[in-house]
Amino acid sequence: MSSDAAPIEVAPSCPAPLVITDRILLGHGSGGQMTADLVARYFLPAFRNPYLDRLDDQAVLDIGGARLAFTTDSYVVSPLFFPGGDIGTLAVNGTVNDLAMAGARPLYLSAGFILEEGFPLADLRRIAASMSAAAQAAGVLLVTGDTKVVDRGKADGCFINTAGLGTVPPGVEISASGARPGDLVVLSGPIAEHGMTIMATRAELELESPIASDTAPLHELVRAMLDTGGELHCLRDPTRGGVATAMNEIARQSGVGIVLDEATIIVREPVRGVCELLGLDPLYVANEGKLLAVVAPWDVDRVLGGMRARADGRDAQIIGVVVEDPERLVVLKTRIGGRRIVDTLQGDQLPRIC
Amino acid sequence: MSSDAAPIEVAPSCPAPLVITDRILLGHGSGGQMTADLVARYFLPAFRNPYLDRLDDQAVLDIGGARLAFTTDSYVVSPLFFPGGDIGTLAVNGTVNDLAMAGARPLYLSAGFILEEGFPLADLRRIAASMSAAAQAAGVLLVTGDTKVVDRGKADGCFINTAGLGTVPPGVEISASGARPGDLVVLSGPIAEHGMTIMATRAELELESPIASDTAPLHELVRAMLDTGGELHCLRDPTRGGVATAMNEIARQSGVGIVLDEATIIVREPVRGVCELLGLDPLYVANEGKLLAVVAPWDVDRVLGGMRARADGRDAQIIGVVVEDPERLVVLKTRIGGRRIVDTLQGDQLPRIC
């Protein structure tokens, strides 16, 4: 966990490969560096305000005496149905989790459907049922919605946007900019399950040990962590771009470096097998039911205790440490004792994963 | 304005033509009867709760002592750019207006972009600039967002979802279920301008007198109406499905009939010309900067005075009266003295108008 071990093998300030294009590319939707560039070049300058500039996955607003978290995500996953869930489950859990990552109690969702002419109503019924079950499980109400239909060939079956509203308890201040040197990084469980399930389904792989998406609401796990009274500085659910990208976002926004210990990051065997088969690094693969927390070192035992007492935090581990680093690098201590820089996802490793 | 004149020519309870299909049709996105059927059959049963069941264009929520309006809309308009605005202008004004129709002060928006691979970044920049200008004009901040990219051929350039949050002042209770017999119906200005502009643009009509979308934020007009102290029972912006559909929604949800006077409903000459050319009834054509209000009769002068003092309410007119009617019909007194039932839009007169 210390940051002064073997020397780093990659030049520490290698610039991100600049993509020169006048068109949207699939990589702009990866959740990685290209998405960040797009946001930085096209959206932040147009809408500049202190809420958006924080680059968190939600805004925390003071409205009429209430402290509210507000977030949105569109879901374009392909295929719509996959082991462990479907686009409806994701659309509820994903937005619930973006609220939870501000320490908020999720309360209300909106839903906007964009449907393609010809989409089977039986599938729509199945998706609505999944959303209903997920909303009930997460204790949120879907209170307002909208439906649009576009002509055949102008969408891909069904896209769903959900926006979410929740209340942030007094005193809770969690943001990707809150990490400080000495803090420890906690991961709630095994990684890469959602992304590899989507990829395996898309590739129609016949797996000996079936794998399933980890899609799940995380707000109760967060509540349990807050209830320990431990100092939580950052929370992030490593979705598009995976653990690597989430760690880089925290490093960049907090102005720190992070050293991760590969041996402590769990990838279940069948998931690792699919990663190897498809040549993908699990650190970059999307999760939909895991969280990363940056915790004050003196509180980490308490927080871990609170997590491990629950089924969804049973495998929680300390996976890294926050260090001073003006280069804001994320470095991985590998199993074999080497060290490599873990950069933000650059391209479009896994398009349409959520 | 009285409801006891010439006999009605159409059987008063003709059932809506039942569309038997196991697939999504374009008409399901019309905002008319097929949309209502889809919502009633697939969404309401799955998500049943008192907020959604009101079938208003927004939910009004009590959160932490604040009274908040929350709404969402996706925008799939084709073409993306048209005289008077573009998809970005619509995405801001449309959601601002859904908040305003609850009497709310719009405050914050989210934005979710679904972009097609190959979409020109210059167009994205233009759309972001329009959204920024519209947000500034409406006094709202875009505080959280999301970007997804789908492969070429799987979307139509750019879809945008916006969700909106605003505060509802104490004592303001406005809902489509608030109309009472004797109330008067006020329309804020000339109709059918947005929808006919889209249709004319799509048809590449060469018009002698150019027409433009009326897209505009309506919350300040609503504020001026509320400031008169007049009793506002319902507010609705007649977007998809037009004045006819909005009136039917109010009639159905309030359990009343409505009698409209055709002579008082303004359609500007060039717009009327395009309607006639394309064979469309302006009562069913979408508006994006007009509102319908149902007002207590003793307050209508005050409210009209407040509206006409503003540029965006200068042409406000009383266009109808709410009557007792167990059939909940909307009836139009025509210019030539006849009467005809104005039903909800049935099919897909104008797909992808917003």
Q: What is the pLDDT of residues B64-111, one digit of tens each?
A: 888 999 999 999 999 999 999 999 999 999 999 999 999 999 999 999
CATH number of the domain enclosing A309: 3.90.650.10
Chain A closest CA to B98's CA: distance in Å?
A: 11
Using an 8 Å CB-CB cutoff, list chain A residues near B78.
150
Same domain, A248 and A317: yes
Contact (CB<8Å) B153/A149: no
**A120 DSSP 8-state letter:** B
Do A248 and A318 sit in the same domain of this protein?
A: yes
**Whether the predicted pLDDT of A18 surpasses 90:** no
List the helix and strand counts (H, then E) for chain A: 10, 14
What pLDDT was estimated at residue A10?
Answer: 40
Q: Is A147 close to B29, i.e. CB distance below 8 A?
A: yes
Among chain A residues, the shortest Cα distance to B69 is held by A144
Judge whether A98 and B16 are in contact, CB under 8 Å. no
Q: Is residue B59 part of a domain?
A: yes
Spatial neighbors of A16 by CB under 8 A, at least 6 apart, are A33, A37, A343, A344, A346
CA distance A190 to A270: 12
Same structural domain for residues A241 and A155? no
Residues B226-275 have pLDDT tens digits of 999 999 999 999 999 999 999 999 999 999 999 999 999 999 999 999 99
**Measured at the alpha carbon of residue A92, what is the angle toward residues A38 and A266, in degrees to the nearest 5?**
75
* Residue A323, C-beta contacts closer than 8 angstroms, at least 6 positions apart: A3, A181, A256, A257, A258, A259
Interface with B, mutate which of A55, A74, A109, A116 (most B CBs under 10 A): A74
B327 confidence band (pLDDT: 50, 70, 90): very high
- Tell me how many domains chain A contains: 2
pLDDT of residue B242: 96
Task: Give the β-pairing of A158-167 and A232-236.
Answer: unpaired
The DSSP code for A288 is S
- Pick among B19, B20, B26, B47 to test the A interface (most A CBs inside 10 A): B47
The whole-angstrom distance between A40's CA and the closest CA on chain B is 12
User: Could you tell me if A124 and A209 lie in one domain?
Assistant: no
- Looking at residue B64, its pLDDT comes to 81
Chain B residue whose CA is closest to A21: B121
Q: Is the domain of B331 the same as that of B218?
A: yes
- At A348 the pLDDT is 65
| Final residue in a domain of this structure, among A167, A201, A225 | A167
Q: Across all residues in chain A, what is the average pLDDT?
A: 93
Mean pLDDT of B158-186: 96
Tell me phi and psi for residue A211, to 5 degrees.
-120, 160
Q: For position B10, what pLDDT does the model report?
A: 40
| Cross-strand pairs, B353 | none
Contact A154 B151 (CB under 8 A): no
Residue A302 lies in a domain: yes
From the CA of B132, how many Å to the nearest CA of chain A?
A: 6
**B196 and B329 inside one domain:** yes
Judge whether residue B15 has pLDDT over 60.
no
Has residue B144 got a pLDDT over 80? yes
Is pLDDT above 90 for A58?
Answer: yes
Verify whether the Cβ–Cβ distance B165 to A121 is below 8 Å.
no
- Which residue, of B124, B139, B167, is where some domain finishes? B167
The reported pLDDT for the residue numbered B9 is 41
Kindly state the helix (H) or strand (E) to which residue B348 belongs, with its residue range: none
Query: Is the model's pLDDT at B323 over the cut of 60?
Result: yes
Cross-chain Cβ contact B47/A156 below 8 Å = no
d(CA B13, CA B32): 17
**B61 chain-A contacts, CB cut-off 8 A:** 107-108, 143, 165
The 10 Å Cβ neighbour count of residue B222 is 29
The arithmetic mean of pLDDT across residues A313-332, rounded, is 98
3-state SS, residue A85: strand
**Cβ–Cβ of A148/B119 closer than 8 Å?**
no
For the stretch A182-200, pLDDT in tens is: 999 999 999 999 999 999 9
Instruction: Over range B331-349, report the average pLDDT.
Output: 89
What integer pLDDT is reported at residue B54 of this predicted model? 87
Give the CATH number for residue A141.
Answer: 3.30.1330.10
A177 domain residue, yes or no: no
Which pLDDT belongs to residue B349? 66
Are the Cβ atoms of A74 and B23 closer than 8 angstroms?
no
A236 and A150 housed in the same domain:
no
Same domain for B329 and B225: yes
Interior/surface letters A159-190, b for 16+ CB within 10 angstroms, e for the rest = bbbbbbbbbbeeebebbbbbbbeebbbbbbbb
Is the confidence at residue A19, as pLDDT, over 70?
A: no
| Chain B environment of A70 (Cβ under 8 Å) | 108, 110, 143-144, 163, 165
* Interchain contact, B117 vs A148, CB within 8 Å: no
Q: Which residues of B touch A49 (CB under 8 A)?
A: 141-143
Cα A258 → chain centroid: 18
Chain segment A232-258, per-residue pLDDT in tens: 999 999 999 999 999 999 999 999 999
Q: Contacts of residue B26 in chain A, CB cutoff 8 Å?
A: 117, 149, 151
Cβ–Cβ below 8 Å for A70 and B108: yes
- Using CB atoms, which residue from B28, B47, B49 is nearest to A115? B28
Does some domain include residue A346?
A: no
Quick check: is B148 in a domain? yes
CA distances from B35 to A211, A244, A353, B44, B339 (A): 38, 43, 29, 12, 27
8-state DSSP, B120? B
CB contact under 8 A, A51 and B141: yes
Inside any domain, residue A351 = no
Contact at CB, B110 and A71, closer than 8 angstroms: yes
- Asked, for residue B18, whether it belongs to a domain, the answer is no
Q: Is residue A64 part of a domain?
A: yes
Distance CA B34, CA B28 (A): 5
% of chain B residues with pLDDT over 90? 86
Check whether residue B77 and residue B200 sit in a common domain.
no
Kindly provide the residue ranges of all beta strands, DSSP E only, lying in B201-280, ordered along the sequence. Answer: 232-236, 257-261
**Residues in contact with B157: Cβ distance below 8 Å, sequence separation at least 6, in sequence order:** B80, B115, B116, B119, B123
Coil/strand/helix, residue B186: strand
Do A89 and A139 fall into the same domain?
yes
Q: Are A321 and A238 found together in one domain? A: yes
Residue A340 tokens, joined: 């490599």
**Structural domain ending residue among the three candidates A141, A167, A193:** A167
A343, pLDDT greater than 50? yes
Residue A208 pLDDT = 87
Q: Supply the ipTM of this predicted assembly.
A: 0.93
Chain A: give the shortest CA distance to residue B261, in Å: 31
Q: Sorting pLDDT into bands at 50, 70 and 90, what band is B134?
A: very high
Domain containing residue A145: 26-167
Same domain assignment for residues B156 and B35: yes
pTM of structure: 0.94
Report the distance separating Cα A314 and Cα B264, nearest Å: 69
Q: How many CB pairs under 8 A join A and B?
A: 288
Please name the member of A28, A71, A163 whose beta carbon is closest to the beta carbon of B72: A163
